[in-house]
Each structure stands twice: as C-alpha cells, then as structure tokens.
A = this chain, B = another copy of it.
C-alpha cells in the first residue's frame, strides 16, 4: 500500500486531498490505491443531488451537510461541474459558500471539473466517491451542477438520488423531465417559501401519480444494464425546503436516512450495488479498451471508413485484432 493511501486511511485530510488529485489524473498510484481501498468501501451512504441551474442546489447541499453533522455523521461533498475548467479543493467559490463549515474536521469538500471529457468525469467521480467511502465518511454528497443527461447519470450512481426543483421551473407537464423525475428517490421543492411553491409541489405529486406512463423511461434505462431493480415499493416523497432559512432540512435528512434504511431492509441494497458495479465495470472496460488502442491506428481506419474503402464492420474486425 502506498504511503498516501495509508495516511488517507489513517485520517489525514492532506493525504486524502493529494490522493484524490492522483485519482482525478488517473495515475498508477491511484489505480493501486483504488484496488487497495476497495475492501474498505461499502459503508458510506452515497447521495446524489441533481437539479437545473437556479434551483438552489449549492445552498441546499450546504444545509444538508450541516444537518448531517448535527446528527454526528461525517460528510464529504463532491461538487461536479462539467462546465467548469477548475478542479481541486482550493476553488474560491467552495471556500466562500462553505465558510460555515470551515474548521469542522468531520467535513470534506471537493470540486471536480471536466477536462473536456464527460465520460472520464463520470469515472473519476465514481472513483473519488469510493476513496471517500473507504476513508470513512458516513455520507458522501455528489452534487452535479447542470441539468444534462450526463449530470443526471452522475447523480444517479448514488444510493439515494435527490432531484431539486424550484417554483416556476417544473410546473408544466414536461415529458422531457419524466426521465429526470423518474431517477429521483426524493423530490425536493426548494424555495418553498415562495407563493408559487404549492403549485410546483402539486405538479410533482401529480406526475408521480402518473408514474405508470413515465416508468417507460426508467425501464428503458434499467433494462439496458440487464439488472432490473424493483423500486416500486419505495413511495417517492416530495419534500418542501427553504434552504436560506433551513426550514424543511431536518425532514429532508430524515427522508434520506429513511431511504437508506429502506434499501437495506427491503433487500434492494445488494441488487442496487451490483447494478452500480456492473455499470462501473462496463464504463471502465470501455475506457480500458480505448486506452489499449493506438490513436494513430484508429485514425487511419477512420480515414478509410470515411473514404468508403473500408466498412465500419470491417474496421471493428481490424480493431479487435489490434486489442
């Protein structure tokens, strides 16, 4: 075991930060560390938080973290921003919004940014989450900034996924959103002090009642992974909160804890975990296959396909031989 891994396991935040940088850069040290840390994982509750810009996610995540701390849980926050070129723990924005939490050793905050590759970001986020789980954080909050499918996919790698809505944003029946609502284990209406919030809450409840018609999206996705988890028994709650005053946050944290307890007690936890590992291994295998292929050889084949000298299927045969 590398000394960085040992020190991170022993509780050094500095070693942890450095190890995470290694993981982000996908170094040999990181790969060894992930293998060494794997037996230590499986104890944290991973919570994904997704929602459109303007829904007030960051403030809410901050409040969630504080409430978990009040309940004596240690918390790590991974803020994923695919549109930001900044990465690392020292991002100014984090420091500012997390100033209430500064000095608390039971909390760890990390920003992750895209380096022009969303697939790589998803893998890195999963790996960083595993490290935080292994070193002993009770709760890992993965906050994804943005509202594209990729951000949603990242958030849904969690045990529990919160989808945040704000009044005036989710009031219409937007079929496009069905997929996003579908992945939410808990729907949160932020800014619940606004008068329009009641309408948003009602609209979300109506959508949940329409569940049968929206399930298609979910099934479409889950079938693809060939491991259907029966979520039917969990009744998705709609929780109103006002992050600015903290109102509703304790109830939300209780719902998050209840969902985790339900996963464990219903027997869905193991199936869920297996499905997540399956997804992760598929992604890693895809990345590993690309890594083994020589870029120049691929470009040459692509050129031949574009020129109609070689069919895509013949190119695949050639690529498989190169592996």
Q: Does A313 contact B (CB under 8 A)?
A: yes
- Interchain CB contact under 8 A, B277 and A35: no
Residues of A272-323 whose CB lies within 8 A of B: 273-274, 277-278, 280-281, 284-286, 288-289, 292, 301-302, 305-306, 308, 310-316, 319-320, 323
Q: Which residue of B lies closest to A116 (CB)?
A: B223
Say yes or no: is A94 at the interface (Cβ < 8 Å to chain B): no
Stretch in A66-74, A96-104, A144-152, A233-241 touching the partner: A144-152
Report yes or no: B41 in contact with A308, Cβ–Cβ below 8 A. yes
Check A38–B302 contact: CB distance below 8 A. Answer: no
Which of B34, B178, B217 is close to A313, meaning CB atoms less than 8 Å apart?
A: B34
Q: Is the CB of B306 within 8 A of A288?
A: no
| Least CB separation from A303: chain B residue | B274
Interface residues of A in 111-132 (CB under 8 A from B): 114, 116-119
The secondary-structure label for the interface of chain A is helix
Cα distance A39–B53 when bound, in Å? 46
User: A1 on the interface (CB 8 Å rule)?
Assistant: no
Question: Taking A82-B220, A174-B176 as contacts, is the C-beta distance between A288 and B316 under 8 angstroms?
Answer: yes
For the complex, give the distance between the alpha carbons of A284 and B298 in Å.
Answer: 14
Known interface pairs A281-B302, A285-B289; A119-B176 also in contact (CB < 8 Å): no
Known: A169-B172, A281-B305. 5 other contacts (CB 8 A): A54-B175, A150-B220, A174-B174, A273-B306, A278-B302
> What are the 7 closest A-B residue pairs judged by CB atoms, nearest first?
A38-B311, A149-B149, A35-B311, A116-B223, A52-B175, A83-B216, A39-B308
Q: A residues bordering B, Cβ < 8 Å?
A: 31, 34-39, 41-42, 52-54, 82-83, 114, 116-119, 146-150, 169, 172, 174-180, 216-217, 220-221, 223-224, 270, 273-274, 277-278, 280-281, 284-286, 288-289, 292, 301-302, 305-306, 308, 310-316, 319-320, 323
